[in-house]
Amino acid sequence: MLIYDLDLPTLTNLLQKWDEPAYRAKQIWQGLYQHLYNSPNEFTNLSKSLREKLTERLDFAPLKVKLFKDSSDGQTRKTLFALQDGHLIESVLMRYDPNTNLGRGRRTLCISTQAGCAMGCVFCATGQMGFSRHLTSGEIVAQVMYYARALKDENLAVTNIVFMGMGEPFHNYDNTMAAIDTLNDADGYAFGARRFTISTVGLAPAIKRFADEKRQVNLAISMHAVDDKTRVEMMPVNKRYKISEVLEACQYYVAQTSRRVTFEWALIHGVNDTPEVARKLASLLRGLMCHVNAIPLNPTAGFEGEGTNKERALLFKETLEAGGIPCTIRMRRGIDIQAGCGQLATEN
């Protein structure tokens, strides 16, 4: 049993079954998520017998580092993990220069929620590899803990977490939310809800379910096209949930939460980066509390499209903003280390 799969009440009940006092659960919880211990031997406030039980009965190491790559500028690290059943997943740490406006010194983690992905987006390396399995909540949490410990060694901390790595978070809804609840717990890691972002291809029923829970977690929609024909070619999920259904779910989300929706837009040269597309997108989004994050496409071996250039990206942004929709052009990160989701796992 993986220690990170246990919430605090479950851990408390487990210790009571072991004839241990309930308060020990809180000590273990704080050791895991405040002190960032990753071995029973580090829990020196516990008895030797309890540390032995933890060693024998619970697993503290669900991830094995297979390899990691650092970008040439030293700002991005991508880690390929092997799960205990041999499946591979990836996580990325992105640092932002505190001396620039973009990112303002953030240390953002891009976390996987599945091994592979069932959504089949043609420009995404994870979509090209297909679906293997859902991650447990603990396997999701363990990725964060790995980087939290690495940053702690530098007297730094994670500032933002995006569920934007391998997999569709809303396809693995319960485990993704359980991971967020664990990381958000005030007695543990205490990571603020507004510093999480969930990125989805647009599973409309899950967006509405998420809206009904009224969480303070940020919502991002991978959009990438303004008409159903084009979006189906890029993102097969659009056969199930048309653009109109996705936007209706987003309207519901805003009405329920009063929170802004972010739309992600991978700028593909000559496909979705023209002023005409920007004007159509502005028309689609007008009246919705939202923001567009556009980023030139990260190249993948299985997709022939190329990322747009700087001039076309700026024109797209200017056209969109002229239509009343705020837009930010994000810089691509880690191109030299294949930092787009799924690229290292596919290669390996």
pLDDT, tens only, 269-296: 999 999 999 999 999 999 999 999 999 9
CA distance 327 to 321: 6
Alpha-carbon distance of 134 to 53, in angstroms, equals 28
Q: How far apart are CA 197 and CA 94, in angstroms?
A: 15
Rounded Cα distance between 286 and 273, Å, is 19
pLDDT value at position 104? 67
User: What's the pLDDT tens digit per position in 117-129?
Assistant: 999 999 888 888 9
Q: In the chain, which residue ranges form alpha helices assigned H by DSSP?
A: 8-17, 23-33, 48-57, 125-129, 137-152, 173-184, 204-213, 228-234, 243-257, 275-285, 310-322, 343-347
Residue with tokens 């653009």: 243
Question: Is the CA virtual torsion 13, 19, 22, 24 positive or negative?
Answer: negative
- Please give the Cα distance from 23 to 308 (Å, whole number): 56
Do β-strands 76-83 and 63-70 pair in parallel, antiparallel, or remain unpaired?
antiparallel
End-to-end CA separation in angstroms for the chain: 28
Among 110, 250, 290, 341, the one annotated catalytic: 341
- Looking at the DSSP bridge assignments, the partners of residue 264 are 222, 293
Contacts of 166 (CB under 8 A, 6+ apart): 89, 90, 112, 113, 114, 115, 116, 117, 126, 341, 342, 345
Task: Give the span between the Cα atoms of 256 and 129, in whole angstroms.
Answer: 36
Token pair of 85 as six digits:
């059943």
pLDDT confidence bin for 96, thresholds 50/70/90: confident
| 110 catalytic residue (yes or no) | no
Bridge-based pairing state of the strands 160-163 and 196-200: parallel
Quick: pLDDT tens for 26-58: 999 999 999 999 999 999 999 999 999 999 999
The structural domains of the chain, ordered by start, are 3-57 (1.10.150.530), 63-347 (3.20.20.70)
- C-alpha atoms less than 13 angstroms from C-alpha of 30 in its C-beta half-sphere: 9
Three-class SS of residue 298?
Answer: coil
Q: Above 80 in pLDDT, residue 330?
A: yes
Neighbours of 153 (CB within 10 A): 8
Tokens of 340: 């787009």
Contact by Cβ (8 Å): 109, 162: yes
CB count within 10 Å of CB 19 equals 7
pLDDT tens digits for 153-176? 999 999 999 999 999 999 999 999
Q: Is 318 a catalytic residue?
A: no
Closest CA to 8 of 158, 185, 128, 159: 185
Find the mean pLDDT for residues 300-324.
91
Catalytic residue among 20, 90, 168, 264: 90
Contact 304, 262 (CB under 8 A): no
Long-range contacts of residues 44-48, Cβ cutoff 8 Å, at least 24 apart: none
CA-closest candidate to residue 267, choices 318, 305, 229, 321: 305
Cα 181 to Cα 60: distance, rounded to the nearest angstrom: 19
Q: Note the pLDDT of residue 231.
A: 97
The answer, yes or no, to whether residue 338 has pLDDT greater than 70, is no
Q: 275: closest CA among 306, 321, 335?
A: 321
Task: Please tell me the predicted confidence (pLDDT) of residue 263.
Answer: 98
Express the helix, strand and coil content of the chain in percent, nearest 5 each.
40, 20, 40
